[in-house]
Amino acid sequence: MASTRPEAGAGEANPEGDELEIDYGYDTEDSGFEQDSVLTQSVRSSIYQYKVENGRTYHAYKEGQYFMPNDSAEHERLELQHRAMFLAAGGQLFYSPVKRLQNVLDLGTGIGTWAIDVADAHPEAIVVGVDLSPIQPTLAPPNTKWEIDDVEDDWTWPPNHFDLIYSQFMLSGSIANFQKYFRQAFRHCRPGGYFELRDLATYLRSDHAPISPDNAVDEWCRLMRQGIVGMGRRLDLDFEELGNLMRQVGFVDVVVRPFKIPIGRWPSDPRLKEAGLYQLYAMLEGVEALTLAIFTRCLGWEPERVQVFLADVRKEFKATKRYTYWPCAVIYGRKPEAVASTGSAP
């Protein structure tokens, strides 16, 4: 069955072509966000010996593979980004019409927010969250389990095991080989189980105002896409292409559900207004985390040059008459009941 968590607002996620309505009377007052302290689990001490680079800490396990930091400031960005995605996608934890929910896998769980929410909503399910960094809370529902691993390696979980495999923000910069990632998800889904993706494309869009090609945010997006190529990854996601890839590896009844995450409080819909506020703060507070490693490692920028550039980027994000958003999508598919996987994924 699909998640029973109530939607945060009325209406369904819209195709990108549908315009979001503007609340022309919105103000720009900030709201405070509280971040729970994040404690780590007891695993090998070496994975806590984080690499310090340009004042930020990065994961020690598979050092350098992932470009985002793992410090407390990043924990806050992850929480804000998750809440923005959750609200903009319609206020449901997942859309896959799962008939039973006993074993769930959260790929790239980060601080574990989605996994904890699912575990709370479905105490009958065992929810496994996996990540490169041990930054998940020890205070979590008893039906959650944290694992430190690299999801780009061969998976060691049993085949035909998970009722739902969930992936959020993983394809936009974290995964090099999409086909292997999808094939492994297919192998480890139980027959009748679902694989669900939620992700965004780093192209700034607006339905209501022209976007100047030389604005700082558009240039930031271009440089981010350019730099991530040096890490063997990509940010230019094509959602229909991802849906087709899901079909190619064997999933059926594939659904591609586009929607938008607004940046700022400009939408008239209360749910999208709240999502936009979360997203704005996530960008203002987190754009440094998104940028530093890619610009310094891949583009050869000095840290000081990055900070000067990011001041302009933040100013552009705060512009109140841009009415901008990120194109996003929920994509899910079902493994046929008649198929049972054996062996390793190609």
Q: Please, what are the domains in the chain?
A: 45-334 (3.40.50.150)
Structure confidence at residue 179 (pLDDT): 96
What's the predicted TM-score (pTM) here?
0.81
| pLDDT averages per 10-residue partition of the chain, 346 residues | 40 58 61 36 51 64 58 83 96 96 96 96 97 86 94 95 96 90 98 97 86 86 90 86 98 98 96 96 91 91 96 90 92 92 58
Structure confidence at residue 43 (pLDDT): 43
Structure confidence at residue 236 (pLDDT): 80
Contact 224, 202 (CB under 8 A): yes
The tokens for 190 are 């139980």
CA–CA gap between residue 107 and residue 152 (Å, rounded): 10
Q: Please report, for residues 19, 79, 132, the alpha-carbon distance to residue 282 in angstroms, rounded to integers and kept in the order given.
A: 23, 8, 21
Buried (b) or exposed (e) across 99-133, using 16+ Cβ within 10 A? eebebbbbbbbbbbbbbbbbbebbeebbbbbbbbb
Structure confidence at residue 33 (pLDDT): 36
CA–CA gap between residue 130 and residue 149 (Å, rounded): 6
Q: Which residues pair with 195 in a beta bridge?
A: 165, 333
